Amino acid sequence: MRSPKAARRPTGWRETGGIEGEPYGLEADAFPPEVIRAAFVAEATPYLRAFRPLDGLCALLEETARRRLDAIPLEAVVAQLAALEAGELLALTRHLRPRLVPGEEPPAAAGAERIVQMGAAELRELVRRLQERLAAASAEG
């Protein structure tokens, strides 16, 4: 599907073509995964912000979501969440959305709804583990 001809040329485009000036091409599939990974890291590093995956937290979240023990009122959840730092809350939301809510790109409200469904004990444990994990990640630099 074509774009309008008026579209501007992208900035920063590195002109490419040929191999040593000769009319040869290369399939992207000829490049091993590790080469592509290294190329991405080399090119993208100046633009990437620090990100820590918090894998252990994800496993915990999935487990607690499956159990869904005693439901607690929204006020209690809000109080718990209010204790989180902004960065912690962002990380929590980031990991809740795709993992606890089925479907692609669920709205933030759906993630929040799942938090509400958690038990008080689960939520406290969740926060404790999250804070521990972030503290450890922070200490590692």
Q: Which of 2, 70, 82, 141 binds other proteins (CB under 8 A)?
A: 2
Q: Check binding of 104 to other proteins (CB under 8 A).
A: yes
Nearer to other proteins, 75 or 104 (CB): 104
Q: Please enumerate in sequence order all residues whose Cβ is within 8 A of that of 67, keeping only pairs 6 or more positions apart, or say none.
A: 119, 122
Contact call for residues 105 and 93 (beta carbons, < 8 A):
no
What is the closest distance, in whole angstroms, from the C-beta atom of residue 19 to other proteins in the complex? Answer: 5
AA identity, residue 96? L
Nearer to other proteins, 7 or 82 (CB): 7
Q: Check binding of 66 to other proteins (CB under 8 A).
A: no
> Rounded CA gap, 21 and 44, in Å?
27
Residue 111, classed as helix, strand or coil, is helix
- CA 10 from chain center: how many Å? 27
Q: Check binding of 44 to other proteins (CB under 8 A).
A: yes
What is the closest distance, in whole angstroms, from the C-beta atom of residue 5 to other proteins in the complex? Answer: 9
CA proximity to 100, closest of 52, 60, 53: 60
What is the closest distance, in whole angstroms, from the C-beta atom of residue 85 to other proteins in the complex? Answer: 16
Strand partners, 137: none
> Rounded CA gap, 46 and 58, in Å?
28
Q: Which of 74, 76, 107, 138 binds other proteins (CB under 8 A)?
A: 107
Residue ranges binding other proteins (CB under 8 A): 1-4, 6-19, 21-31, 33, 35-40, 43-44, 47-51, 53, 90, 94, 104-105, 107
